[in-house]
Amino acid sequence: MQRFYEVMFIVRPDVADEDLDKLIAGLEQTVTNGGGAVRSTEKLGRRKLAYTVRKFNDGNYILLTIDAGGPLVAELERRLRVSEPVIKFITVRMDEEDKRLAKVRAIRATRKKLSAIPVPAEPPAPAEPASTPAAAPAETATPAGA
Amino acid sequence: MGKHETIPGSMPGFVSGHDFSRAVSGAKSTGLQPLRFCRINQVHGPRSAPAGRKKEMPDETTNAPAPRSESRPDAPQGRPAGPGGRGPGGPGGPGGRKFFRRRKVCKFCTEKIDAISYRDVRLLQGFVAERGKIVPRRLTGVCTTHQRRLAKAIKQARNIALLPFAAGF
């Protein structure tokens, strides 16, 4: 079963761009080979680190969102640990969080619809199923934007 | 019993006879009123007695007699500290003992922020002190669930060097 993870890692600042891209491509390859799927790759750019890591004061932040199984994540982490340019990484499991958020939003959507209904009873039935698919794309947009 | 009648603000509804007798016997130095009244009588100028007493009234009716009797033995020592602590505690806000007296509301609940991600540093920095410590929820007014999530997010952010573990010096 595929779980949704966010992997954020920091690459040392003195690697060239092509090397960085190669590294990311290699990691994506690992994911796809292991049966996972890469949802998105974001380069957050160079940032100043809050504390010194391996004698570096800033680093390149990269965020990778993937769908993968547990063992695949372990493999990915092993690769990150071993790869020399990566100085820090964190993997956060997001699928449960997403489920909770979706539930909250669904509840909120139904609540809004009920309050919006003036008097007739008919609009709620078509309105509610219409609202949840309409709300869903809007909701999925917000975690990406967060 | 005549003594409490001298103070204009005292509500007749408040008095349940047995509490009061205990109060009168328990209160030591001024000998005037039970703990709450004593405190107000002691502080004259800045905190006007009627204003203070009105704050006390609803609490005294709602509070059980037992806690008050426990605090009464402390009255002589507690009283000097009382106005100093509770005065700013009332309007100032973090509040604990009394009912929600202008208590700060949870920012996440009001703004309906669902997800507290370790990635939005700006949001998290509002809840971190200058030394990097996580601010307790009695100061920020955050509700328990959100404080737990916030703490988790801050710790994740610290691990990925978005927030410091200890800053300043």
Question: Domain map of chain B by residue range?
Answer: 2-92, 107-159
Mean pLDDT of B131-152: 92
Name the token pair of B58: 């609803």
| CB proximity A104 to B under 8 Å | yes
| CB proximity A97 to B under 8 Å | yes
- Say if residues A46 and A79 touch (Cβ distance below 8 Å): no
Tell me what ipTM this predicted complex has. Answer: 0.72
**What residues of chain B lie within 8 A of the CB of A89, using their CB?**
160
Q: Among B112, B120, B164, select the one facing A50 at the smallest CB separation.
A: B164
Name the token pair of A18: 């092509």
Residue carrying structure tokens 């920012």: B107
**Cα dihedral across residues B82, B86, B88, B91: positive or negative:** negative
pLDDT in tens, A26-49: 999 999 998 899 999 999 889 999
> Does B160 score more than 80 pLDDT?
yes
Q: Among A49, A59, A104, select the one facing B114 at the smallest CB separation.
A: A104
- What are the residue boundaries of the structural domains of chain A, listed by start? 3-93, 99-145
Phi-psi region of B95 (alpha: psi -120 to 50; beta: other; left: phi over 0): left
- The CATH topology of domain B107-159 is 30s Ribosomal Protein S18 (4.10.640)
A105: nearest CA in chain B? B114
Q: Report pLDDT for A66.
A: 93
- Say if residues B11 and B31 touch (Cβ distance below 8 Å): no
| CB proximity A85 to B under 8 Å | no
Architecture of domain A3-93: 2-Layer Sandwich (3.30)
How far, in Å, CA of A120 to CA of B79, rounded?
A: 63
